[in-house]
């Protein structure tokens, strides 16, 4: 049974996304391996000039901007993002993130754990 977890996010490994998200890395802050029953909390970090894929999926995103300047495109409309901004991307909505500044753009991105992700 999970005993809980307290750590700084920088202690958690950052993995490259790969070619579909140039300059982007992800840290799984809380997930199935921690015993999370419902939600997976990730930190996304995008270098200057980098972006996520422009895509849609059957589950939502819940974001909180931690550092840097970025933008999110939701349903074709770009929104500027700064620290303290909150973003909700509903299930099925087309979206993309990109760095819009000169430093690393960091934001939290929550999604359901795998067993709760709806099938397409």
Three-state DSSP class for 11?
A: helix
Q: Is 13 near a second copy (CB under 8 A)?
A: no
Say whether 32 sits in a helix, a strand or coil: helix
User: Which x/- pattern over 32-61 shows residues binding a second copy (rule: CB under 8 A)?
Assistant: --xxxxxx-x-----------------xx-
Q: Which of 20, 32, 49, 86 binds a second copy (CB under 8 A)?
A: 86
- Binding residues for a second copy, rule CB under 8 A, total 44
60 DSSP 8-state letter? -
91 binds a second copy (CB under 8 A): yes
Edge-to-edge order in the sheet of strand 70-74: 77-81, 70-74, 95-99
To a second copy, the closest distance from the beta carbon of 59 in angstroms equals 8
Measured between alpha carbons, how far is 29 from 85 in angstroms, rounded to an integer?
A: 19
116 binding a second copy? (CB under 8 A): yes
């Amino acid at each position: 049974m999970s005993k809980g977890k307290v750590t700084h996010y920088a202690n958690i490994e950052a993995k490259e996304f790969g070619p579909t998200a140039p300059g982007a890395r992800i840290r799984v802050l809380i997930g199935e391996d921690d015993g999370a029953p419902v939600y997976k909390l990730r930190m996304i970090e995008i270098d200057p000039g980098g972006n996520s894929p422009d895509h849609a999926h059957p589950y939502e995103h819940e974001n909180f901007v931690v550092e840097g300047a970025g933008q999110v495109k939701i349903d074709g409309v770009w929104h500027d993002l700064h620290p303290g901004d909150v973003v909700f991307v509903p299930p099925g909505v087309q979206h993309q993130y990109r760095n819009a500044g000169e430093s690393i753009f960091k934001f939290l991105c929550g999604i359901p754990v795998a067993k709760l992700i709806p099938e397409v």
